[in-house]
Structure 1
């Protein structure tokens, strides 16, 4: 498995992981009608815009046979009194590849990039009912707050976690 920075040529493969992961991860959480409307083509167009953006950093996990099986995205958040903050805006991995250390590798690549950009804190927002949310606390993120958001007409609880010791996660 290889972790590398994404290129615009990866947009279609990232879109497949994105849509397919949403359909498995959020089944029973997000309304089925919303999940059914997700489009690989629309997500590919979205990623073609995000990948070359100067604001973000997108990495992919590529299997040994060259297939993209996961991805992560981050960006700078805001200046704070204690320095720059970042957002881990997405980290998705096809279900069959969970539990193999790939998510950790994607997370560490993103945190290393954000640390290099001067971030002292990194936030991640995750649906409370997402079974994979414990991944973030396992790797040292602390629950910062809970808020409600709307997706597909449903009101859902979203938890915001924050890492304040990026170096600790990178050394793990």
Structure 2
């Protein structure tokens, strides 16, 4: 497996993996009509904007094997001085094979090198217990609990986890 920086040419592969991951991980959590709707087109728009005009200080890393993109992690700086791990997704059929761990380690190492001293944090849906367990095994400390408001008209509880990068492992 190889980790590399994402490129504009990766938009479709990232959008497809993001869609498959959401449909798998959020089944029974998010409304079915949303997950079964034009989710791919929505993700395609998001990734087209992100990769077409990258935000200063943001990064996308892809995990690839001989079959193509099997995972990705996206990071972006926030106005509060922290770094948001906005997405970490692995192909649903490839979970528990170490890809998520490799991508998480890449994220930590990159933040340490490119944004020293910044805290890494993420938001995860409270009902996504497998993701929470993954982040807690990697030393994540829960720092907040709040309601996430989705543009599609629903609300879910999300948790915030943080890693002071100097201490993260």
Asked if the contact 1:12–1:40 (Cα under 8 Å) also holds between the matched residues in 2, the reply is no
Find the aligned partners of 1:156 and 1:42 in 2 and give their Cα distance: 19
State the match for 2:72 in structure 1.
71
State the match for 1:128 in structure 2.
126
Q: TM-score, normalised by structure 1?
A: 0.87
Q: Which has the higher strand share?
A: 1
Unaligned runs of at least 5 residues, structure 2: none
SS in structure 1 of the partner of residue 79 of structure 2: strand
Q: TM-score, normalised by structure 2?
A: 0.89
Deviating above 2 A after TM superposition, structure 1's stretches of 4 or more consecutive aligned residues are: 38-42, 150-155, 165-168
1:87 lines up with 2:87 in the alignment: no
Find the aligned partners of 1:75 and 1:11 in 2 and give their Cα distance: 17
Residues 3 and 125 of structure 1: CA distance in aligned 2, closer, same or farther (over 3 Å): same
State the match for 1:48 in structure 2.
48
Q: Deviations over 1:48-71 (max 9, x none)?
A: 221241241001111123x11111
SS in structure 2 of the partner of residue 135 of structure 1: helix
Find the aligned partners of 1:8 and 1:42 in 2 and give their Cα distance: 17
Give, in angstroms, the shift of residue 42 of structure 1: 3.4
Taking the TM superposition and a 5 Å limit, the aligned residue runs for 1:1-172 are 1-51=1-51, 52-53=53-54, 54-65=56-67, 67-79=68-80, 84-116=81-113, 117-131=115-129, 132-151=131-150, 152-169=152-169
Unaligned runs of at least 5 residues, structure 1: none
Residues 101 and 48 of structure 1: CA distance in aligned 2, closer, same or farther (over 3 Å): same
Q: Deviations over 1:97-141 (max 9, x none)?
A: 111110011111111111122243111100000132211111011
Find the aligned partners of 1:167 and 1:145 in 2 and give their Cα distance: 19
Residues 49 and 55 of structure 1: CA distance in aligned 2, closer, same or farther (over 3 Å): farther
RMSD: 1.7
How many residues were matched structurally?
A: 164
Asked if the contact 1:128–1:159 (Cα under 8 Å) also holds between the matched residues in 2, the reply is yes
